[in-house]
Amino acid sequence: MNSGNPLTDSKALHANLKRGRLVVEVNASTFDPQALFSFAERRNPKRAFLFVSRVLGRHIPARPSLMADSFNALAAHIPSDLPGPVLVIGMAETAVGLGGGVHRALSQTRDDSVYLVSTRHPTGSELFARFEEEHSHASSHLLHLPQDPKTRELMLTARSLVLVDDEASTGNTFINLSNALAEAGLSNIERLVTVTLTDWSQDAVRKELGQHVTSVSLLDGRYTFDEDPTADLPEMPEVGSVAQGDWPLDANRDWGRMGVREHLDTLAPDLEVTPGERILVVGTSEFVWRPFLLAERLEKAGADVHFSSTSRSPIALGHAIDHALSFSDNYGLGIPNFLYNVAPGQFDRVLICSETPAAAVDPALISALNAQVIVDDK
């Protein structure tokens, strides 16, 4: 089910990948499909293909205003009659910023909502649930219990769930999360809304969980992947770590792992820009929402701003990925991270935003982009 106005009727798009041919059929799309997504090839033996969003600001740099348009378009189609409280969950790592944007828009019309993100970074505080994303390069997700009493109460008494991810291929991750929440004791849920930029799941969540499920997306379609059984499987780097690294998180600066009801723009409040200055703001791993708010502020101040994020997702060069930087993660986990489609010298100024100290950011990344590190210290 797609809540937008169809501009496209069954337009087939395809990609010939090293491990097979991927074909998608678009049933309905609010925007031009090719402006929403493209294809890439995972370095992952479990799944060969990847739908790469052009409006997410993760693997392809995007303008903050374009990203905000997608947040607002999705939120506008969330049913207005959801019984409260409403628990909005954004999926690590790719959709934590998307979820923040959807929650920000939703919270303009109701004051009984909580935003929580799944994470691969334990905070040391109490866990509420754990669930799996089987096809992922990092399959395990953690959900923490909010520490603030009011936020915790709203979460535990939630009657509606809004689950946000960048795309749904099979719907299994949403199903796994919903089941994990029920098993953990979230027993009052009456309505469930899945929210994605692109939905290829053919209403799988509703078919599995029941008629209380609604799906909202900017694009609805289906895909087929004709896999070549003789193709070599790639070696995937070890990126699945779910642990505290050498640079532990500060719970006092939480932006969503333990639940928030409002969104604070705290990064570099005095930063000045020149009108037309080409600036890239880079979020790191799951720390993307506050960096996005900074990028949005700089764009409104007149700079020519794009937003992107580092990722632990290993993707092959080709198709939508024409450049890749590899470096060590900034949490001290000893795993490789990547920044895609950002070439040295492409921007006048590059701002790398981190929730860990500046010393934790790989000097090789800073040097490659001649970047400035901005640390969340509020």
72, burial (CB in 10 Å: exposed 0-12, middle 13-18, buried 19+): middle
- Cα(155)–Cα(234) distance, integer angstroms: 41
- The amino acid at 289: W
CB 162 within 8 A of CB 87: yes
The order of strands in the sheet holding 304-309 is 304-309, 278-283, 349-354, 372-375
Q: Give the domain ranges of the chain.
A: 264-375
The first and second tokens of residue 353, run together, are: 């935003």
What was the pLDDT predicted at 242?
81
Residue of 244, 238, 246 lying closest to 257 (CA atoms)? 244
CB 336 within 8 A of CB 311: no
CB 302 within 8 A of CB 296: no
| Residue 156, SS3 per DSSP | helix
What was the pLDDT predicted at 378?
67
Tell me the sheet residues that pair with 198: 167, 219
Q: How far is CA 349 from CA 149, 304, 360, in A?
A: 41, 10, 20
Residue of 173, 170, 192, 199 lying closest to 33 (CA atoms)? 199
In angstroms, the first-to-last Cα distance of the chain is 41
The first and second tokens of residue 60, run together, are: 């392809």
What was the pLDDT predicted at 235?
86
CB atoms within 10 A of CB 148: 15
Give every CB contact of residue 367 below 8 A, 6+ residues apart in sequence: none
Residue of 164, 229, 236 lying closest to 193 (CA atoms)? 164
- Cα(53)–Cα(155) distance, integer angstroms: 30
CB atoms within 10 A of CB 275: 8
What was the pLDDT predicted at 136?
53
Q: What is the DSSP letter of 315?
A: B
Tell me the sheet residues that pair with 196: 165, 217
CB 65 within 8 A of CB 206: no
What was the pLDDT predicted at 252?
80
Q: Following CA atoms 148, 149, 154, 157 in sequence, which dihedral angle do they give, to the nearest 10 degrees? A: 130
pTM (predicted TM-score): 0.94
CB atoms within 10 A of CB 335: 19
Pairing of strands 86-90, 49-53: unpaired
CB atoms within 10 A of CB 337: 24
| Residue 304, SS3 per DSSP | strand
HSE toward the beta carbon, residue 52, CA cutoff 13 A: 27
- Residue with tokens 């500046």, as numbered in its chain: 358
- Cα(165)–Cα(212) distance, integer angstroms: 19
Choose which CATH entry (1.10.3470, 3.30.70, 3.40.50, 3.40.1130) describes domain 264-375: 3.40.50
How high is the mean pLDDT in each 10-residue block of the chain (378 residues)? 39 88 94 93 91 96 98 97 98 96 96 96 92 64 94 97 96 94 96 98 96 97 94 86 85 90 95 97 97 98 98 94 96 95 95 97 97 90
The first and second tokens of residue 3, run together, are: 């809540």
